[in-house]
Structure 1
Amino acid sequence: MTREKISSIVSALVVGGGIGGMATAISLAERGVKVDLIDLDPEWRVYGAGITITGPTLRAYRRLGLLEPIKQAGAITNKTHLYRYDGTLLQTLDEPVIEEGLPATGGIMRPVLHRIMQKRVRELEIPVRLGLTVTALEEDGTGVDVTFSDGTKGQFDLVVGADSVFSCVRDFAFPHMAPAVPTGQGCWRISIRKPPGLDAGEFFLGHDNPCGITACSPDDVYMWMLTEHEEREEFMTDEELYTTLKGLLAEFGGNAGWIRDHMTREDWINYRPLAAALQPRPWYNGHMVLVGDAVHATTPHLASGAGMAVESGIVLAEELAKADTVQEGLQAYEDRRFDRCRDVIESSIGIGQLQLNHRPPEEHAALLEGALHRLNQPF
């Protein structure tokens, strides 16, 4: 597919090789920009369980030309089963198809998704430097002078901070912003083999700790559970993670109960407290700009963090291609993304607060339905 070229910049540095960073690097490179990508991890790895890929997220990946490999490596479905936590089926939802030829929803293992994106980065011959971050950024009016953590320097027409919720680019160049704020909830995840008979996504409701299961391949699923977060001085050991999650699932039936009964200490289990932030405007400073969790970190309640990051990388490149100047393009990117990202973050936090306050599932469903309807709209 021919992309409209970007005329206002020649070179760009993308800091952060995660989903948002790779989406941005791919989108800029496809429009003729000489992109350099750096990532702090010397192995360019990703840790994690699966990831839910909703219709809007699949739409964004189709814009990147990556829909087919995701469909081949992941699991696609067109429905979601809602259960009472004891395994009683409440309702089956038909997931809407938001564009012709686009799957409704699905899932994929996060490391597999990263490998698909990494392959596209290499196909575009984007230079990737690993084990590296930035230690100084200096705006000179026409670009940015960059000092890297290995002592080398570079000059770029644009610097994109896509370096996670803990962004150092944000810390260096955006003093009006602040770290993400804890929401009071935590999220458990486990990767495990697929329960027999699972044929769609599943949600288990009516419990203080709601959970869900997403198929990520023909053989693998991940399960998540949301709980109230309790501060502690030390991280949980692997044994604590296993026994605590098994205990939290004690009252669950259906496939959630199957996972409880069949989980082992070899399965990947993770827990992390949730935090979110819609950073205040402006999202750019001179020739520096933020995308993804660095500027619009959300919680998993709408399964939209990755999708929002991919959308932002695409929109940034599209608006730069339309604009005569860098500043016009960055302002248009911010204008186009701010309200949509705010809606996702506020809706996600709102659903979490309903859960913390033990509100009826009907209230959760109403807020969720409205937010998902708005997410389905074009970005």
Structure 2
Amino acid sequence: MTVDRIGSITKALVVGGGIGGMAAAISLAERGVAVELIDIDPEWRVYGAGITITGPTLRAYKQLGLLEAIKAEGAITSKIRLFEYDGTHLLDLDEPAIEEGLPATGGIMRPVLHRIMQMRVRELDIEVRLGLSVTAIKTSEDFSDVTFTDGQSRTYDLVIGADSVFSSVRDLVFPHMGPALPTGQGCWRISIRKPPELETGEFFLGHASPCGITVCAPEKVYMWMLTPHIDRDEHMSDEELFVTLKSLLADFGGNAGWIRDNMTPGDWINYRPLSAALQPKDWYHGRVVLLGDAAHATTPHLASGAGMAVESGIVLAEELARTNNVTSALRAYQERRYERCRDVIETSVAVGKLQLQHGDPKVHAELLGAALHRLNAPF
């Protein structure tokens, strides 16, 4: 696929080596920009279980040229099965492919996805500097001067803040923004071998703590569970995580019950509180712009946080390639992304509130189905 070259900028800094930052770096580098990417982790690692990849997210990865690698190392399915928490089947949400040659939906282990993207970053000769963040940014209409945590300073045509929900770039440059707000829920995740009867993704609804299972490889799945947030002053030990999650699954049947009965202390288990925020406009100032969780942090209810970050990286590069006026390009990027991200965040938070209120699982299913349909629209 040929892409338009970017003539308005020659050198860009991407702060944050996660999914959104790598998507932006790849998209810019493919259009001729000299990209430098920094990440605070000296090992450039990623933690986590699996990740659900919806059709719209697969479409975005196809534009990055990474679809075949994801298909080869992940798992592809065509629907999501919805159940009452006791295992009673409700309905199937068929997910037809949104364009020819594109799988409907799927999943992949998050570390595998990061490795695929990291390989593409290396192939494009993007300069990667690790164990590094930013301490100061001075920006104007023409450039940004950046001071790093190692004391060095460099100048760039554009700085992209893709450094997570706790963005340092946002804190330094965008005083009108604030931290993501807690939603009252927490998310449990476990990575485990695939239940023998599992064929596709499954959701279990109608419980105070709904859960779902995503196939991530031929014999590997991850299960998530959403609960009212467990407020603690310290992190739970591995033993506490195991015992608590097993207890939370006590009422569940079907494959969720199978996971409860077959999970072991050796399976990877994680818990974290959920928060969300659609940052107010503008997402750009001078030659600095935000994307991903730094600008549009969402909860996992629509499995679209990663997809929104990848789309934002692609759209930013597309708009910079359309015009030599950088301010106009950044404004166009913002306008293309704002309402789509708002829909994802507001719907996700609404679904979470419904879950906390023990709402009707059929209403839950309708909200999910309608939102996923809207996401099929071009971005």
- Deviation track 1:10-43 (CA, whole Å, cap 9, x = no partner) reads 1000000000000000000001100000000000
- 1:322 aligned residue: 322
Which residues of 2 match residues 27-176 of structure 1 at below 5 A? Answer: 27-176=27-176
**Distance in 2 between residues matched to 1:368 and 1:79, nearest whole Å:** 13
Of 94-103 and 112-121, more deviation after overlay is shown by: 94-103
Distance (whole Å) between structure 2 residues aligned to residue 134 and residue 151 of structure 1: 9
Aligned equivalent of 1:357: 357
* SS of residue in 1 equivalent to 2:217: coil
1:216 counterpart SS class: strand
CA distance in 2, matches of 1:342, 1:80: 24
- Offset at residue 361 of structure 1 (A): 1.0
Q: Aligned-residue CA RMSD in angstroms?
A: 0.8
* TM-aligned CA distance change 1:308 to 1:114, over 3 Å: same
What is the rounded CA distance, in whole Å, between the counterparts of 2:178 and 2:355 in structure 1? 26
- Calculate percent identity across the aligned residue pairs: 73
Q: For the residues of structure 2 that align with 1:96 and 1:347, how far apart are their CA atoms?
A: 21
Q: 1:90 deviation in Å?
A: 2.2
- Distance between the aligned counterparts of 1:199 and 1:156, measured in 2? 49
2:4 is the alignment partner of 1:12: no
Tell me the residue number matched to 1:239.
239
CA distance in 1, matches of 2:27, 2:360: 42
- Structure 1: how far apart are the matches of 2:364 and 2:108? 25
Q: Any conservation in 1 of the 2:206–2:359 contact (CA below 8 Å)?
A: no
Q: Deviations over 1:219-273 (max 9, x none)?
A: 1000000001132111111111000000000111111111111111111000000
Distance in 1, Cα, partners of 2:40 & 2:239: 29
Unaligned runs of 5+ in 1: none
Aligned to 1:24: 24
Q: SS at the partner of 1:366?
A: helix
For residue 92 of structure 1, report the CA deviation from its aligned partner. Answer: 2.4
Please give the alpha-carbon distance, in whole angstroms, between the structure 1 residues aligned to 2:196 and 2:363: 32
Offset at residue 93 of structure 1 (A): 2.6
Q: Which residue of 1 aligns with 2:282?
A: 282
1:39 is aligned with what amino acid? Answer: D
Moved more, 84-93 or 241-250: 84-93
Residue type of the partner of 2:211?
A: C
Amino acid of the residue matched to residue 93 of structure 2?
L
Q: Distance in 2 between matches of 1:325 and 1:26?
A: 21
How far apart in 2 are the matches of 1:344 and 1:205?
20
Q: Structure 2 regions of 5+ residues with no counterpart?
A: none
One-letter amino acid of the structure 2 residue matched with residue 169 of structure 1: V
TM-score normalized with structure 2 length: 0.99
Task: Output aligned runs, 1:300-379, within 5 Å.
Answer: 300-379=300-379
AA matched with 1:176: H
Pairs aligned (count): 379
Equivalent-residue separation in structure 2 for 1:88 and 1:366 (angstroms)? 17
